[in-house]
Amino acid sequence: MELSAGKTRSRLQDYIASVANCAVEITELKHLSGGAIQDNWAVNLTVAEGEWVGSHELVLRRDAPSGVAASHGRAHEYQLLKAAHSAGVQVPEPCFLCTDTSILGRPFFLMHRISGEASGYLLVKGNDDPGLARKLGLNLARLHSIQPPRNDLVFLGSAPNDPALAAVERYRGYIDSLDWPMPVLEWGLTWLVAEAPTPGKPVLCHRDYRTGNYMVDCGELTGVLDWEFAGWGDRHEDLGWFCAKCWRFGATGREAGGISERAPFYEGYEAEAGTAIDPKAVAYWEVMAHVRWAVIAAQQAARHISGIEPSLELALTGHVIPELELEILKMTLDSGHA
Amino acid sequence: MRDRPDTADLLKIARQVLRNDLTDLLPTEKRYQALMVSNAIAIAGRQLGVGGETERRELVVLRDLLGVDGQSEDLYRELSARIRAGTYAAGTPDHARMRAFLETITRRRVGESNPRALDQD
């Protein structure tokens, strides 16, 4: 359903008016480029009176016609954004969710539009930015203050007893479904079983908290994006994913996401969380991060190889696997056990 | 016999034309795709350059390590299954030898897919 078509646009406008309980005018409606998982639109509107009086620049996120199994639909993503926003995490403020498919054909929600740069390659080109790293640490700690049980997040299921071993099982399952021998990833997974840390208290993990998934405007963090993989897990999983060498966009010397040293990122986190980070557990989850990214890369390459989705980008993604694997071999060498 | 210039030479000159003469003429939003094409040609050229002899040598080592015969795909399947089963886990006799083998094949593969990652070592 093309949103900008007259009828759909007026149906959307009427719907927003019914939620706001007053006259609303959509002044702009434009499709935004985005991933294959979502369908995003820029919506500008004017509200005549009441609580939301004034002009607003929003984003409408609608489920794509075909969802990706491992990611949340818009209804769940809306709940996650609301929970994160209430916990004080810098995110685009969610406005409301519509699950009535008679309006736009598929569920959607509206959130405030944030501005800034998200490209990892551009962000790591700037100067060392300890202030940004500290802010990202603080925001991650606020996210991790969300802990089960939560009635608003029941769709996340129950927290795994041992997040590390649960992840190992998941990635072994993915490798088996690819039917593609990956001995170095198996080597890493064997190490991850042997070295699994004692599970900590479960927290809400973002699971893709890294440079490239947050927006920065004039040096200020404007929002953390891409919540579709969030779930209950170990706090060190997000910390390790953020610091993993594969997410430094070539700025390998700056261990906190290619933007700064680790210290300010850890300090920002610890000051807010009131909990000390276990550096050994972070190192463990950095190995897991490389395994996870390699498995995802193999899945993406398989989409090209199978002929389902011929794509040069997916084909080249398969070629990031060797360097991830070399890193896995290096990281698992010095533990004294492996 | 094949006619010259050979595959590697053709890929090399095709990539040069793309990079030196064509990429800058493209609209900005299409340059990324040209870079991806150039990268794909480079990987293909490096894979050709390594050739079958290296893989044959690797398979000789792998057959010896596993103590079984078979084709490449079967051997790597067997290897993966054994690693998962813990056959080469830390503390086992063949642990260090197997790790060295994995590092050898992985370095060769990085050399084909992204040799710059080897420079950062």
Reply yes or no on whether the pLDDT at A36 is more than 60.
Answer: no
CATH homologous superfamily for A120-331? Aminoglycoside phosphotransferase (APH), C-terminal lobe (3.90.1200.10)
Q: Where are the domains of chain A?
A: 6-112, 120-331
DSSP letter at A206? -
Q: Which residues of A touch B (CB under 8 A)?
A: 172, 181-184, 186-187, 189-191, 194, 252, 312-313, 315-316, 319-323, 325-326, 329, 333, 337-338
pLDDT at B84: 98
Contacts 24+ apart (CB under 8 A), B3-10: B7/B48, B8/B45, B8/B48, B8/B49
* Interatomic CA distance for residues A11 and A15, integer angstroms: 6
Query: CB atoms < 10 A from the CB of B114, how many?
Result: 20
* B39 touching chain A per CB within 8 A: yes
- Average of per-residue pLDDT values in chain B: 93
Check CB contact under 8 Å for A322 and B40: no
Q: If pLDDT is split at 50, 70 and 90, which confidence band does A7 have? A: confident
**DSSP character string of A232-248:** EE-HHHHHHHHH-GGGS
Residue showing tokens 């969030």: A230
Closest Cα in chain A, distance from residue B1 (Å) = 31
Same topology between domain A6-112 and domain A120-331: no
Instruction: Give dist(CA A234, CA A74) in Å, integer.
Output: 24
Q: Per the structure block, which two tokens stand in for B31?
A: 């340059």
Chain B residue whose CA is closest to A189: B84
Q: CB distance B39–A316 less than 8 Å?
A: yes
Distance from CA of A73 to the nearest CA of B (A): 30
Partners of residue B50 in chain A, C-beta under 8 Å: none
Rg (CA), chain A: 21
Share of residues in chain A with pLDDT > 70 (%):
94
pLDDT tens digits, residue range A126-166? Answer: 889 999 999 999 999 999 999 999 999 999 999 999 999 99
Q: What pLDDT shows up at residue A34? A: 57
Out of B36, B83, B117, closest to residue A190 by CB:
B83
In this complex, the residue of B36, B84, B95 whose CB is nearest that of residue A316 is B36
Q: Residue A337's pLDDT band (boundaries 50, 70, 90)?
A: very low
The dihedral sign for the CA sequence A48, A52, A53, A57: negative
pLDDT, averaged across chain A: 92
CATH pick for A6-112 out of 2.60.40.1120, 1.20.58.60, 3.30.200.20, 3.50.50.60: 3.30.200.20
- Contact criterion met (CB < 8 Å) for A323 and B114: yes
pLDDT over 90 at A334, yes or no:
no
